[in-house]
């Protein structure tokens, strides 16, 4: 009888403990279980997972440099910070060492993505000066791409690349706004305003030139590097030059919210809200809140969804809600509810052990369509973490 009572008591306490957990905590634990398999595989391969191939096998980063390489160690750092499980810390450190030497590269703009999401988290969590120096070195490399005439950091190099076929001289993509966070952070930790000033100049130039009156953005602007004149406004990964590529809108929303965090300049907050309102009120914004890959794709509703855009938007809206009296909290939780359901969350040990299904890398290039992406999972984990901080 005592055994039965003890068993019932234990069962009751277990049920009570489960009920006391928030939705975000339950989803974070579920995500950790899924990614544990990916962690094991990545440590064995000593490589960074990016997606899956057409056969469903993990697609590892194979090129010497990849703009997505910082997302996986960044994800490991986020899980370690929550769980204090040393295996996640070990994985984060091991994975980011793979690309540490890229801090000195000056031929690409994505150093912010790569190093702020990995070494930036490492420094914030551990306080180790080694990680701080890597951030500073990467920021110094990034600002070499700043052109005073244009007022922007150049995105892709055009010499010898496919971008040259477009006739571009100084392309700047909306994605580049995301790299400014590294500059703001390094300015804070060094006290040197040069990084912050470049970030603000880039943000202001992009605000002035990249956006349409309705709050949507172009993907690519090409500038005359001598005069700073805008030569063309086009797309590379969207449906058309005048369309609203979904992940581009997500990058803009996230980045201007972030700019407000660092500067407290209300024009950035107002602009982030303008972008949010464009997204949330668009006639092609789907009921579940997970965007089609382009808001103007011609065959909606028979177009691929992009879970990565949904995760980025959700995370951005959660931060934006902090500054607007929780104005966008409902929208963010609605997206996360959708992403956390069976339509987008993979079953255990499926989907290459990634969390989210149905993301789109670049449909015009025929690349990574309807697959998991490491940055989709990164922003999903970040969004859930932000929701957890709200006690939800």
Q: What are the residue numbers of the active site?
A: 110, 175
3-state helix, strand, coil in the chain (%, to 5): 55, 10, 35
Kindly write down the DSSP assignment for every residue of 317-331, as one continuous string. HHHHHHHTTSTTHHH
Phi, psi (deg, nearest 5) at residue 326: 60, 25
Q: Which SS3 state, helix, strand or coil, does residue 244 take? A: coil
Inter-residue contact 357 to 368 (CB < 8 Å): no
**175: closest CA among 195, 190, 196, 154?**
154
Q: Greatest CA separation found in the chain?
A: 87
Please give the Cα distance from 18 to 390 (Å, whole number). Answer: 18
Q: Which two tokens stand for residue 281?
A: 């009120």
**213: closest CA among 131, 128, 127, 277?**
277
**222: closest CA among 163, 275, 160?**
163
**219: closest CA among 198, 182, 250, 259?**
250
Contacts of residue 373, defined as CB under 8 A and 6 or more positions apart, other chains included, come to: 50, 51, 68, 307, 308, 354, 356, 359, 361
Q: Which SS3 state, helix, strand or coil, does residue 181 take? A: helix
Whole-angstrom CA distances from 38 to 31, 309, 348, 365 are 11, 22, 11, 27
Please give the Cα distance from 290 to 306 (Å, whole number). Answer: 7
């Amino acid at each position: 009888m005592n055994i039965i009572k003890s068993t019932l008591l234990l069962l009751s306490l277990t049920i009570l403990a489960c009920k006391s957990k928030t939705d975000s905590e339950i989803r974070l634990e579920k995500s950790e279980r899924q990614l544990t398999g990916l962690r094991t595989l990545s440590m064995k391969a000593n490589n960074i997972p990016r997606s899956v191939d057409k056969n469903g096998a993990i697609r590892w980063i194979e090129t010497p440099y990849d703009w997505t390489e910082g997302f996986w160690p960044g994800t490991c750092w986020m899980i370690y910070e929550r769980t204090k499980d040393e295996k996640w810390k070990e994985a984060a450190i091991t994975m980011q060492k793979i690309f540490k030497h890229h801090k000195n590269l000056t031929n690409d703009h994505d150093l912010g993505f790569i190093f702020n999401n990995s070494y930036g988290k490492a420094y914030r969590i551990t306080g180790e000066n080694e990680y701080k120096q890597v951030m500073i070195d990467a920021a110094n490399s990034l600002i070499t791409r700043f052109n005073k005439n244009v007022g922007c950091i150049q995105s892709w190099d055009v010499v010898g690349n496919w971008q040259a076929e477009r006739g571009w001289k100084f392309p700047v993509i909306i994605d580049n706004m995301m790299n400014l966070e590294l500059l703001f952070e390094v300015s804070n930790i060094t006290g040197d305003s040069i990084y912050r000033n470049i970030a603000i100049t880039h943000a202001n130039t992009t605000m002035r030139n990249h956006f349409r009156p309705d709050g949507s953005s172009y993907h690519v602007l090409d500038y005359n590097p001598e005069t700073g004149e805008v030569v063309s406004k086009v797309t590379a990964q969207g449906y058309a030059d005048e369309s609203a590529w979904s992940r581009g809108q997500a990058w803009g929303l996230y980045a201007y919210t972030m700019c407000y965090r660092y500067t407290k300049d209300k024009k950035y907050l107002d602009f982030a809200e303008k972008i949010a309102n464009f997204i949330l009120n668009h006639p092609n914004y789907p009921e579940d809140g997970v965007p089609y890959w382009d808001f103007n794709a011609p065959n909606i509703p028979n177009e691929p969804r992009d879970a990565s855009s949904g995760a980025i938007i959700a995370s951005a809206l959660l931060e934006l809600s902090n500054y607007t009296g929780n104005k966008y909290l409902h929208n963010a939780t609605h997206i996360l509810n959708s992403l956390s359901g069976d339509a987008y969350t993979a079953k255990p040990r499926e989907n290459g052990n990634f969390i989210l299904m149905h993301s789109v890398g670049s449909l015009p290039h025929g690349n990574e369509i309807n697959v998991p992406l490491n940055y989709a999972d990164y922003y999903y984990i970040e969004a859930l973490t932000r929701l957890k901080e709200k006690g939800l």
